[in-house]
Amino acid sequence: MKFGSKSSVAVAAVSAVLFSTALLTGCGSAGSGTKGDVSSSAATAVQKKATETYDSIYDEYSKQIEEAAPKAVEEFKKQAEGNTDVKKLAEVANDQVGTLAKIMTDGSKKMAELREKNGDSYKTYEKNYKKLYKVYSDKAMDVYGAYLDVYGKQVPGYNDQMKQQMIDQYKATVQQLAPAESD
């Protein structure tokens, strides 16, 4: 398989799709859309938010991502077992990465709410968001690695060097998609 072949282009496209999910969903509003009695929900939220910090939000959501990642990899492997359709495998991997992206997005929304509440600078929010994004992208790589392992078994001539090239390409894509430093 040549690195510029249709298969490698498909894998590159999958890597871009897999990891742009979090960035696109992370740009949503900071609203929570809660249900139920607004006054009691608001009172509970105020009590909880009074003790929230960027670090506590980071700790909570990075832990959730770290706990969900092995489950996402196992679920991918389970669904990939016996599957030879590369497109379907990419969809399964994307679904599992989406699970991690949702957690990351929820955490980034909490951080955005805290920024709004405290009147913090965007730079303060961004610094903490990037820490959470790093955890997400590292753990999403676990799912992507599992995808490449299954994908590689189906491609004649696929080897560790090709896998490393794809991983490097993924990392470059993640780096390009990561939020840029603001002034």
Mean per-residue pLDDT, 33-42: 48
CB atoms within 10 A of CB 156: 5
Has residue 158 got a pLDDT over 60? Answer: yes
Q: What percent of the chain has pLDDT over 90?
A: 49
User: Cα(136)–Cα(140) distance, rounded to whole angstroms?
Assistant: 6
Average per-residue pLDDT in the chain? 79
Place of tokens 């990351």: 104
pLDDT for res 36: 46
Q: What is the pLDDT of residues 53-67, one digit of tens each?
A: 999 999 999 999 999
Mean per-residue pLDDT, 119-127: 95
Query: Is the pTM above the cut of 0.85?
Result: no
pLDDT for res 71: 98
